[in-house]
Amino acid sequence: MPLLDDIEPLKQTALADLAAAPDLAALEQTKGAWLGGNGRFTALMKQLGTLPKEEKPAAGKLINVAKQEIEAALLARREALELAAALPKEPTDFTLPGRRRALGKLHPLTQVTDDIVRAFRKIGFAVADGPEIEDEYHCFDALQTPADHPARDSQDTFYVASAARPLLRTHTSSVQIRVMQSQPPPVRIIVPGRVYRRDNADATHNPTFHQIEGLYVDKNVTVGDLKGTVEFVFRELMGSDVKIRFRQHYFSYTEPSYEIDFTNALVKKMGKDWLEIAGCGMVHPGVFENVGYDPAVWTGWAFGFGIERIAMLRYGINDIRLFYENDVRFLKQF
Ligand code: DAH
């Protein structure tokens, strides 16, 4: 029976055509060419009427099954092509850096920290890190701060209730010790990090704030290097009109020790001549001995300053608590 013999090969050709359609437009054309009013498969169904009555049911059934198969293939091909059209043309490399942040901004303290780190990186400092929960040895003893020193007073230090007396580090100077214990000299590091003190929150104090510690150990290191370095970094941060001045001071881990005063147009605008900004000095030989460096061979300097202080100066912020309240009206301005 010629008609019945036509069904299978026609169906196969239709399926092949559908599978070969390269895109959705081509697929719709192929659909029309087979199943449209003048389509090839439609023509086959029209021939059904010419068959003898007794053959019609069987032939009709065969044609219907074939048609369903073609329609299913059409649907599947359409889904596949739609999916392909929705996919990016090039494979996506998710390791590429993003072009812009979708939402939000960096916190002003993060921005200032990044700028400070960038300035120190230019002159060869690496970033080091240490634990915020410290022990008395790294935070105080190794820095020659004896047990009866006021800095260890429970008025100033948060102690963790446990037999080992861990504490929340009161300064990033503890990381000086950890770094020197873990590597031989020379050392050239900065340590940005969070510190804790039992201060009541007011406009200039908060129980937690951030510091940057610096440590430079090599042969023949001088106060001149220290002064030049601090001056360079503050000019990078605050502009070329920055002046700094060293005032004699005392820290148990440096000798001689200084406080660094800072001035520029901003400070003048605040009605002040100088602003105290950091502590520093030449690393005490006793500290070198504590970490196993030979003080007859190695010299060094260290400094520490508060990041909030610099951010407040830079942006003209008069209340430190604004940094921690996460009020978007404040944060949006940076
Ligand atoms: N640790 C001191 C503080 O928290 C700052 C400081 C002073 C750090 C002198 C130093 C230094 O490294 O040499 O106030």
For ligand 1, atom 9, name the residue with the nearest CA. Answer: 280
Average pLDDT over all residues of the chain: 92
pLDDT at 2 over 70: no
pTM of the model as a whole: 0.71
Q: How confident is the model at residue 101 (pLDDT cuts 50, 70, 90)?
A: low
Q: So what's the pLDDT on residue 31?
A: 93
Residue 208: name the closest of 324, 309, 123, 319 by CA.
324
Number of domains in the chain: 2
pLDDT digits (tens, 9 = 90+) for 295-307: 999 999 999 999 9
169 and 289 share a domain? yes
Pairing between β-strand 208-218 and β-strand 299-306 as defined by DSSP bridges? antiparallel
Residue 169 covered by a domain = yes
143 and 235 share a domain? yes
Q: Give distance in angstroms: CA of 261 to centre of ligand 1.
A: 14
155 and 121 share a domain? yes
Q: Give distance in angstroms: CA of 330 to centre of ligand 1.
A: 30
Domain encompassing residue 130: 108-331
Q: Which atom of ligand 1 is nearest to the CA of 251?
A: 9
254 and 132 share a domain? yes
pLDDT at 145 over 90: yes
Task: Name the phi and psi angles at 151, rounded to 5.
Answer: -65, -25
CB-based contact 285:294 (threshold 8 Å)? no
Residue 94 covered by a domain = no
82 and 115 share a domain? no
165 and 46 share a domain? no
Q: Which atom of ligand 1 is nearest to the CA of 254?
A: 13
Q: So what's the pLDDT on residue 50?
A: 86
Report, in this order, helix, strand and coil percent for the chain, each rounded to 5: 45, 20, 35
Q: Give distance in angstroms: CA of 173 to centre of ligand 1.
A: 6
Q: Give distance in angstroms: CA of 316 to centre of ligand 1.
A: 24
Residue that finishes a domain, picked among 30, 54, 86: 86
Half-sphere exposure of 277 (CA within 13 A, CB side): 25
Pull the structure tokens for residue 79. Answer: 């889904």
Q: Give distance in angstroms: CA of 303 to centre of ligand 1.
A: 5
Residue 130 covered by a domain = yes
pLDDT at 4 over 80: no
CATH number at residue 269: 3.30.930.10
Burial class (CB in 10 A: 0-12, 13-18, 19+), 139: buried
Overall average pLDDT of the 122-142 stretch? 96
Q: Which atom of ligand 1 is nearest to the CA of 176?
A: 12
Instruction: Find how far residue 171's CA is from the centre of its chain.
Output: 24
Residue 115 covered by a domain = yes
pLDDT digits (tens, 9 = 90+) for 191-232: 999 999 998 888 889 999 999 999 999 999 999 999 999 999
Residue 195 covered by a domain = yes
Residue 230 covered by a domain = yes
Ligand 1 lining (C-beta closer than 6 Å): 171, 173, 213, 251, 254, 279-281, 302-304
168 and 239 share a domain? yes
pLDDT at 1 over 60: no
Residue 95 covered by a domain = no
Residue 117 covered by a domain = yes
126 and 223 share a domain? yes
